[in-house]
Amino acid sequence: MRITKKLIVAGIVSVAATGGAVYATAAYASEAAQPLPAVAPKVTAEQAIGIALKQVPGSWVSELDFDSRGQQADVWELELTKGAERHEVDVDAASGKVTKQQADQDDDDQNDDGDDGDDD
């Protein structure tokens, strides 16, 4: 936002010096740098969270991403945590249907070698 304001200020100063040609170029450049607005999904983030929480009761959402997949259906990708389990749930952004549900044990707090650290 600040960059756009700086370009406009710089453009206004340039208008006084060049008669408007540089201002038009600066304004066009700032508009061209803006990404095209994405089409809003039919299923909102709040709705996707509600759907995922129904799939994994008693969990909480630890991550939420919107994945625009081009030719494939857009999905909300959610990661839920319930105790020591992490669940990945994908919710179709158009229909609200769950397209993927996977549970993984959270290994961050566990040793894979079976050694509990005691030398007894």
Phi, psi (degrees; rounded to nearest 5) at 78: -120, 140
pTM score of the predicted model: 0.56
Residue 97 DSSP label: -
pLDDT of residue 70: 82
Domain ranges of the chain: 2-33, 45-105
pLDDT of residue 115: 55
Side-by-side strand order, sheet with 98-105: 60-67, 75-82, 85-92, 98-105
- The fold adopted by the segment(s) 45-105 is Nuclear Transport Factor 2; Chain: A, (3.10.450)
The residues, ordered by sequence, that sit 6+ positions from 61 with a Cβ below 8 Å of its Cβ are: 49, 52, 53, 78, 79, 80
| Cα separation, 13 vs 19, whole angstroms | 10
pLDDT of residue 72: 86
Q: Mean per-residue pLDDT for 34-61?
A: 86
